[in-house]
Chain A
Amino acid sequence: MEIYLPIAEMSVHWLVILGMGAAVGLLSGMFGVGGGFLLTPILVFYGIPSEVAVATTASHLTASSMSGAISQWRNRAVDFKMAFVMLAGGLVGTFAGVWLFAYLRRAGQVDLVVSAGYVLLLGTVGGLMLNESMRALRAYRLGQPARSSGRSHHSWIHGLPLKVRFRESRLYISVIPPAILGFFVGVLSAIMGVGGGFILVPAMIYLLRMPTNVVMGTSLVQIIFVTASTTILQAIHNYTVDAMLAVFLIAGGVVGAQYGVRFGARLRGEQLRLLLALLVLAVAGRLLFGLVARPDELYSVVTGTP
């Protein structure tokens, strides 16, 4: 049965949308990421206008991170103070991002910036993860414990003012780095329809040096609010949130995520990270190909005043 999407103004098969939501949900449950970086490109490949894909994915991420955050909160694995500081930066970031998005849309460069942004981000993050997981796997095979970088490490971050004590993270650091990190992720959320978990999680571990057990829950809480803000702002500025599309994506996504969590529990951390790294690099490669290869059609048409 076809369903008609009132905002995208096109009809799609409901099973396809449900399936996409479930597949992305499965991966996000397995790897503990939101999966926005997969969902947005998949929706665009399927023919959903990229403006609608970016905005609607944000509401899908609100649902999936809500589901994940509740489980983490039950395990007391959330640093609310840290989430609040990052959120302050994040909300400003979404405002800046939605404004920038509307500007790019008028200039006709949304597709370019979204694709190029994905290639850069996914290429970098995927490359780093691949490198790290390969080393961890090799160390495991040789029977050595993986080298963990010491928590006593002093970096420039500790020289900044406005220091605050974060009890759950056992940290005493300046609020500036987490706020800037939040801002950056807010901009990304608005422009690219990602939650930013795949940037937040490594940044919180390696840059802020938060303990791994609170990182996931804290980033999920931050993502709920950032994607909620993005959804509302996109609805106001660009009228691009398709509620019908969102319902089917979410329904598929939440079920897929639950199975993903169970499936992921059977694999070891390094193996999971290696798989995720390969997946991320594959998406980056596909998007890079789209930018570099000569397109079949040089002209594109947009109806209505952008």
Chain B
Amino acid sequence: MKAQVFPSLLIAFLALVPAARAEDLVSGLSQDSIEITSNYAGSTIVVFGAIERPTTSAAKHDIVVIVRGPPSSMTVRKRDHVAGIWINNEQATFYGMPTYYFAASTRPIDEIAGRDLLDRYALGLKRLEPSSVRTQAPAEPFRLALIRRKQENGLYAEIPNGVEFLSETLFRVRVPVPAEVARGEYTAEVYLFEGGNMISAQVTPFYIDQTGLERQLFNFAHEWPFIYGTSAVAMALMLGWLSSLFFRQSL
């Protein structure tokens, strides 16, 4: 039940944020679940919110929105030129990396707060660290390659000016959810900064799951693999037989 570890850890961290000021920020999601149906080709979820108290001091407010997918292990392999051909050689396996990560902020994250704070909450793509690594080679190039490849697939993204203000206090963030996302529990985190300090934060979970026929097929394949395989064969045999019947006259 690794999937549950991360969100609960996060909530524990968030308890450290001064509670009295939590009402400074309210946020919500356009939907609390995304269902992957037979014609699912990706979608968008909107994180919206409002800063309750307008700026009193000269310090400007900053907002960082992070969406994280369920963590998983990931193996990164590097190809090398061996005996004239390119083969997978060194590899590194990272545990506990999010399968999806999206960060949007009012300005580049590095300018918003100090390194310690950003590291602690893993704000920003380059601060994504696994819970553990298994490799014989230095891990850092593999970690960077992982982040780069995930960005190319649209599963990791960081948009420095991705927070859209609709008024003085009202904001929204469009979060693209590509078709290849993993199923499971996601979290949308909204952080409010003032003068480099985190003054408020909110976490809202949402779910992405297959529904209908796709869900049933996936479960069927994993829970009853023998019957699933046999059914696939039976279907193939029947289609083959039907086609030979159907085309018999016309040949």
Per-residue contact bits, chain B 209-251, to A (CB 8 Å; 1 contact, 0 not): 0100111011001100110111111011101110110010011
Q: Interface segment, B47-55, B84-92, B101-109, B192-200?
A: B84-92
Query: Nearest 9 CB-CB pairs, A to B?
Result: A66-B240, A235-B229, A254-B243, A232-B229, A299-B145, A63-B236, A62-B236, A63-B240, A67-B240
Q: Interface segment, B15-23, B36-44, B122-130?
A: B36-44
| 8 A Cβ contacts from A159-183 to B | none
A246 interfacial by beta-carbon distance below 8 Å: yes
The chain A residue sitting closest to B36, CB to CB, is: A4
> Are A11 and B86 neighbours in the complex by a CB distance under 8 Å?
no
Per-residue contact bits, chain B 61-88, to A (CB 8 Å; 1 contact, 0 not): 0000000000011111111110011111
A303 vs B153: C-alpha distance when bound (angstroms)? 13
> Are A232 and B233 neighbours in the complex by a CB distance under 8 Å?
yes
Chain B nearest Cβ from A69, distance in angstroms? 8
> Are A6 and B235 neighbours in the complex by a CB distance under 8 Å?
no
A-B contacts, 16 listed (Cβ < 8 Å): A2-B41, A6-B215, A9-B182, A10-B180, A64-B240, A65-B240, A108-B77, A116-B85, A231-B229, A239-B225, A246-B235, A258-B251, A292-B86, A298-B78, A300-B149, A303-B73
Chain B nearest Cβ from A97, distance in angstroms? 15
> Are B229 and A303 neighbours in the complex by a CB distance under 8 Å?
no
Chain B nearest Cβ from A292, distance in angstroms? 6
A279 interfacial by beta-carbon distance below 8 Å: no
Residues of B within 8 A of A302 (CB): 74-75, 77
The chain A residue sitting closest to B147, CB to CB, is: A301
A67 vs B247: C-alpha distance when bound (angstroms)? 10
The chain B residue sitting closest to A291, CB to CB, is: B85
Task: Give B residues with C-beta under 8 Å from A.
Answer: 36-42, 72-81, 84-88, 91, 99, 142, 145-146, 148-150, 179-180, 182, 210, 213-215, 217-218, 221-222, 225-226, 228-233, 235-237, 239-241, 243-244, 247, 250-251
> Are A301 and B36 neighbours in the complex by a CB distance under 8 Å?
no
Chain A nearest Cβ from B1, distance in angstroms? 15
> Are B75 and A292 neighbours in the complex by a CB distance under 8 Å?
no
Chain B nearest Cβ from A306, distance in angstroms? 6
Given contacts A258-B247, A303-B182, contact A66 B241 (CB under 8 A): yes
A183 vs B179: C-alpha distance when bound (angstroms)? 40
Chain B nearest Cβ from A220, distance in angstroms? 10
Residues of A within 8 A of B146 (CB): 299, 301
Residues of B within 8 A of A294 (CB): 81, 86
A261 vs B239: C-alpha distance when bound (angstroms)? 18
Given contacts A4-B38, A6-B210, A301-B75, contact A236 B225 (CB under 8 A): yes
A243 interfacial by beta-carbon distance below 8 Å: yes
> Are B86 and A295 neighbours in the complex by a CB distance under 8 Å?
yes
A228 vs B231: C-alpha distance when bound (angstroms)? 10
> Are B88 and A108 neighbours in the complex by a CB distance under 8 Å?
yes
Given contacts A66-B237, A261-B251, A300-B149, contact A236 B229 (CB under 8 A): yes
> Are A59 and B232 neighbours in the complex by a CB distance under 8 Å?
yes
User: 15 extra interchain contacts, Cβ-Cβ under 8 A, other than A2-B41, A292-B86, A299-B76?
Assistant: A59-B233, A60-B236, A63-B240, A109-B87, A112-B88, A231-B229, A235-B232, A236-B226, A243-B231, A261-B251, A299-B142, A299-B149, A303-B74, A304-B72, A306-B75
A112 vs B87: C-alpha distance when bound (angstroms)? 6
A22 vs B7: C-alpha distance when bound (angstroms)? 47
> Are A62 and B149 neighbours in the complex by a CB distance under 8 Å?
no
A244 interfacial by beta-carbon distance below 8 Å: yes
A255 interfacial by beta-carbon distance below 8 Å: yes
Residues of B within 8 A of A96 (CB): none
A261 vs B39: C-alpha distance when bound (angstroms)? 34
Query: Which of A234, A291, A301 interacts with B76 by CB under 8 Å?
Result: A301
Per-residue contact bits, chain A 253-268, to B (CB 8 Å; 1 contact, 0 not): 0110110011000000
> Are B77 and A292 neighbours in the complex by a CB distance under 8 Å?
no
Given contacts A3-B38, A63-B237, contact A246 B86 (CB under 8 A): no
Given contacts A2-B40, A108-B91, A254-B243, contact A231 B210 (CB under 8 A): no
Chain A nearest Cβ from B42, distance in angstroms? 8
A112 vs B241: C-alpha distance when bound (angstroms)? 36
A246 vs B36: C-alpha distance when bound (angstroms)? 20
